[in-house]
Amino acid sequence: MSVSWWVWVVLMLAVAAMLAVDLFLHRDNHVIGFREAAVWSGIWIAAGLLFGVILWAWQGGDVAGTYYAGYLIEKALSIDNVFVFAMIFTYFGVPAAFRHKVLFWGVVGALVFRLVFIFVGAELLETFFWTAYLFGAFLIYTGYKMAFRHDEQTPPDRNPAVRLVRKVIPTDPAYHGDKFFTRVNGKRVATLLFVVLIAVEATDLIFAIDSVAAILAITTSTFIVWTANAFAILGLRSLYFCLAGLLRRFVHLHYGLAVLLAFAGVKLILSETPVGKLPIPVTLGVIIVTIAVSIIWSLRSTRGAATELTADRGITAAAANPAGTTDSHPSPTPQQPALAQAPDIPCSPESTAPRKGPPPS
């Protein structure tokens, strides 16, 4: 599917407008509760589904079905991003009021990076047939790692990108409100919030390789691939605030995501064999059934768990103080062991309540 340049321009302007509205409505850095996050999640999901309807009326059912298949697999894989974002925020003790800002700019970076990956990946698949086998094998291996080595996580502060930033840019190990940069003793330095942003961007960069390869297994149309990515990613921030408090119930979801990655890999390899590309209805069916089974399995396995989870011990009084932390009262740093072990639950009702005094040690 090829589209005119003006369609790309209109799409980019529409995405920019939606991001601008989101940024304006959250300019006060307030703590986002479950109800607000659920409303925004509904809005973003509705926007993604509506775009599919527009494609259906414009290009027909096959194109719309391809878009929906890509959108669903991207939406499912984005849940794994939420797991990692929760770990990063807990590890660095990020005040709840500043998490939306980090995720917002993280999404902007993700849209840019994925656009580059999509054009490069699609061009490789169109030019060199053997790259389908390479990408397919990579997806199958990634699925294996997700299924059997999912718990192997590198501490965020050991991320190469984070270590490089700290080495190149002078960094102050504290939060200064919602600022990414500030002045300390007359010298301009990066704040700990900027380090967190780099950790989020670096993590999403890795996820982008998996997700872009997975959707390229469905179609090499750059327009369909990017729109499916964009509408799935735009709702990532609200999805985080909705699901972060329930993540511990999705104990088997990574198996479902592993199956989807492996399926995408097999599908990509088969596309360069006499079997050819699998029909879109089959692809949609596999995606929907796999996601549904892994979620139901997870919820049934954790049915006895308490539904009302305890508040996030890593959120300090700064969570209820959008004005931020001053130099004389620095926010928690990654060296505090209690933060690294605390559950990350911004959706719990208690997590939005003001807290007095320092976090428990």
Phi/psi for 188 (5° steps) reads -75, 125
- In the chain, count of helices (H) and strands (E)? 12, 2
The pLDDT assigned to 309 comes to 45
The residues spanned by each domain of the chain are: 5-303+310-349
The pLDDT assigned to 152 comes to 63
CB 44 within 8 A of CB 238: yes
Q: Treating both helix axes as pointing N-terminal to C-terminal, what angle do 99-127 and 5-25 enclose, rounded to 10 degrees? A: 160
Using CA atoms, how far residue 134 sits from 87, 139, 269, in Å, is: 31, 9, 8
Angstrom distance (rounded) from CA 339 to CA 262: 35
In this structure, the number of other CB atoms found within 10 A of the CB of residue 361 comes to: 6
CB 202 within 8 A of CB 158: no
Three-state SS at 329:
coil
Query: b/e map of 128-146 (b: 16 or more CB within 10 Å)?
Result: eeebbeebbebbbebbeeb
The pLDDT assigned to 306 comes to 45
The residues near 306 (Cβ < 8 Å, ≥ 6 apart) are none
Angstrom distance (rounded) from CA 334 to CA 300: 35
The pLDDT assigned to 229 comes to 92
The pLDDT assigned to 67 comes to 95
Three-state SS at 316:
coil
The pLDDT assigned to 45 comes to 93
Residue-level pLDDT, tens digit, the chain, 361 residues: 678 889 999 999 999 998 888 888 888 888 888 888 889 899 999 999 999 999 999 999 999 999 999 999 988 888 878 888 888 888 888 998 899 899 999 889 888 888 999 999 888 888 888 888 998 899 898 888 888 876 666 677 777 878 888 888 888 888 898 899 998 888 899 999 999 999 898 888 888 888 888 889 899 899 999 999 999 988 888 888 887 767 677 888 888 888 988 998 898 899 888 888 888 888 889 988 998 999 899 888 887 654 444 444 344 334 444 444 444 344 444 443 333 333 444 444 334 333 333 343 3
CB 316 within 8 A of CB 95: yes
Phi/psi for 183 (5° steps) reads -115, 130
Angstrom distance (rounded) from CA 73 to CA 258: 11
